[in-house]
Structure 1
Amino acid sequence: MPEVVDNVAVARLYGEPLFNVPQDLYIPPDALEIFLEAFEGPLDLLLYLIRKQNFNILDIPMAALTRQYLAYVDEIRTRNLELAAEYLLMAAMLIEIKSRMLLPPRKTAEGEEAEDPRAELVRRLQEYEQIKLAAAQLGTVPQAGRDFFRAQVHIEQSLQPRFPDVELSDLQQAWADILKRAKLVQHHRISREELSVREHMSLVLKTLQGRRFVEFEQLFDPARGVAVMVVTFIALLELAKETLVEITQAEAFAPIYVRLAYTPS
């Protein structure tokens, strides 16, 4: 048996081409029921037939195309009428176009040649083919959830609240308020007193010892005068600089609190 191209033989059996369908070949009744389900509609089937037979889409041979189309539709019309309904509507359109092409062309009222009966079908086929090619190209683009998944990292938030940092302007405002109140209760007494910053640093640490938080204003005693409060304020700044105390504030314009710095054991 001579070698032939695959599209010439109707089938191959054990690698050998078959030119005729065997008479005793059994085809199950349900073998053709799902054939049209492979197409997405009548236009998809028409485009398949045109490309399969290498027809020119701008000059479609309506007789051959209609004959092949009806042959496919007849295979499933008796088995799946619901599926064949939309295909039968296209079959009626093909028969109408074929009939109009058999009639002699008529000129319009303006004397121009009448439009080709196939023009509307060609336009719909071209638009469908463009959309189908575009959909195929979009299908090759990687999509989230189908070709890849976005990485997600869950971070557990600490139960301990994070207080905002205290700005220098907040300390200045709090210090100005303390000085303003101190002037209202100051005594008119002139005395000379030597004040030690280190000593007041120890006093502040002693005041904070064993207490969770101390309000900023409670560290100052207006009755002892402005000089003592200035030294106490300097001592507090030195302690903060040496990270021995922490100055916190729950929110903007809220009271300022001072506590001993946490030292891990």
Structure 2
Amino acid sequence: MSVPKDDGALNALVDPAEDTTPDVVDSVALARLYGEPLFAMPQDLYIPPDALEVFLETFQGPLDLLLYLIRKQNFNVLDIPMAEVTRQYLSYVEQIREQNLELAGEYLLMAAMLIEIKSRMLLPVKKSDTGEEIDDPRAELVRRLLEYEQMKLAARKLDDLPQLGRDFQRSHAVMDLHIEQTLPDVSPEDLRNAWLDIMRRARLNAHHRITREQLSVRDHMSQILRRLGDVQFMEFNELFMERVDQGDAAAVIVVHFLAMLELARESLLEITQAEPYAPIYLRLSYMRAAA
């Protein structure tokens, strides 16, 4: 099948008047840089050597590494096989020494300590001047390892506790509070109870004032003599009912009774009664003598 040549159509395909190629092709772009798509990795891109470094095991220091080697192989921390542990420790130190010499310095110090302990264990055991055996060269290292493990477990327990920002977030709520003071409703029963309470307190705080009243027995004796001087006889109750009717106080009635007894003691007044339970009568003694 032959296609006629058309120079005008071919030139339009080679050099179109309007660019119809899309500016962004997301399906094939590797990344975006400042909003522009990248279709290939830049040739001048600098990647630091440590950027792609992967740490399979991370340790916080020489003691952490040493404790890891002991626990991983189920060695007894009180009876450490120094030859095997030292060999594994030096192997790890050699690896980190090739990558970071500054980091390896701290580990090299512990390696020297392990070699020293190993060499001391190879020497014959000698007794001290007192005859006692010298302490195990591993004793100080064991003490440090046990203390470090204890602190590490304590730190792990603290890290397991819920932490703000890691395990939970603090909630914040904005409340538009409008406080309006409301008066309580008062019922008649409430007023009654309040009034009864006031009266109860008033009775508890009541004051009894005692005043001194000038009462004279002699004065009342004169009054009784004048009263009986007008009559021949007077009933006992009548003499005192007059005082009661006048509204005299109890103290006045008592003094009036004492005045009557004093007149009878001085034989100026006679108190008579015809028979038991009969009315009692009063009369002046000198009135009878005159009769």
TMscore range, shorter length: 0.3 to 0.5
The TM-score with structure 1 as length reference comes to 0.45
Higher relative contact order (CA 8 A, sep 6+): 1
Larger radius of gyration: 2
